[in-house]
Amino acid sequence: MFRLHPLMIDSVMVSLFCVVLAGCGGGEALGPTVTVTGQVTLDGQPFSDAVIWLNSPKTGAGYNAELDDEGRYTVQIQDTAVGESYNVFFSGAAPEEGAVDGAGTPQGPQPPPIPGRYHDGSTSGLTAQLTGETTQSFDFALDSK
């Protein structure tokens, strides 16, 4: 009967581990990280209490940031390809701690609702096409009509 020597088993295990580890490499990056900034308005007024999403229809990668009180945002997009276009849409911001009582009743004034078409990147009509610049700005003017 054939028996493997204990040192041979160790060598095979180390070799197998190295092959598996090499296969888990991150691969090449598509491009640089781009900082996208801008301001969002609704009917001409700064829009806040929402999250802006930039979604790549090519890769499915999505990036987001909460809008501040002035409607401004900053999103870091990693491994961008020059000329890639991102669909832009919005979702409601997570409520702040203490914004609802124990029964789930909202406390304080509520933000204006996000018009329905802006909830989906395929219906919003908003895009951000990235160039080779590492910092880019896109302002979005939403309307409730």
What gap in Å lies between CA 60 and CA 29, rounded to an integer? Answer: 16
% of the chain at pLDDT higher than 70: 66
pTM over 0.85: no
**Would the pLDDT of 126 be above 60?**
yes
pLDDT in tens, 47-83: 998 999 999 998 889 999 999 999 999 999 987 777 8
Most confident stretch, 7-21, 75-89, 93-107, 125-139: 125-139
Task: Give the distance between the most distant pair of CA atoms in the chain.
Answer: 84
129 three-state secondary structure: strand
> Stretch 75-103: mean pLDDT, rounded?
78
Q: Where do the domains of the chain lie, and which CATH numbers do they carry?
A: 34-93+113-142 (2.60.40.10)
| 94 band by pLDDT with thresholds 50, 70 and 90 | low
Size of the chain, expressed as the number of residues it contains: 145
